[in-house]
Amino acid sequence: MNEVKRETDKLSGDDIHRRLRNDWMRKNDSRQVIAFCDIAFPILISHNDALTDRTAEDILTHNLVGQRLCDWQGTSSD
């Protein structure tokens, strides 16, 4: 089976976050970062949630961006 790997498949969560943050900061000014922090919230999951690998990666990336930009603290819904 021939699988095509995305470039991000080889990166850790921190590497992905760093790239997203750097790309965000290049394209946006600090006012937009503040706006993100005003409207975005951590995505919480429970043990009952069924996630695909891609969805879990997307949630992790979102939460890491919020943690770094908005000082979100670790929380759990369970």
- pTM comes to 0.54
Quote the number of domains for the chain: 1
The answer to whether residue 21 is domain-embedded is yes
The answer to whether residue 26 is domain-embedded is yes
Burial of 21 (0-12, 13-18, 19+ CB in 10 A): middle
pLDDT classification of 1: cutoffs 50, 70, 90: very low
DSSP 43: P
pLDDT score at 32: 56
The answer to whether residue 77 is domain-embedded is no
* 51, pLDDT greater than 70: yes
The answer to whether residue 78 is domain-embedded is no
The answer to whether residue 4 is domain-embedded is no
The answer to whether residue 16 is domain-embedded is yes
Structure-block tokens of residue 21: 């943050």
The answer to whether residue 3 is domain-embedded is no
pLDDT score at 74: 72
Answer whether 65's CB lies under 8 Å from 20's CB.
Answer: yes
Q: Which domain holds residue 20?
A: 12-43+51-70
* 77, pLDDT greater than 60: no
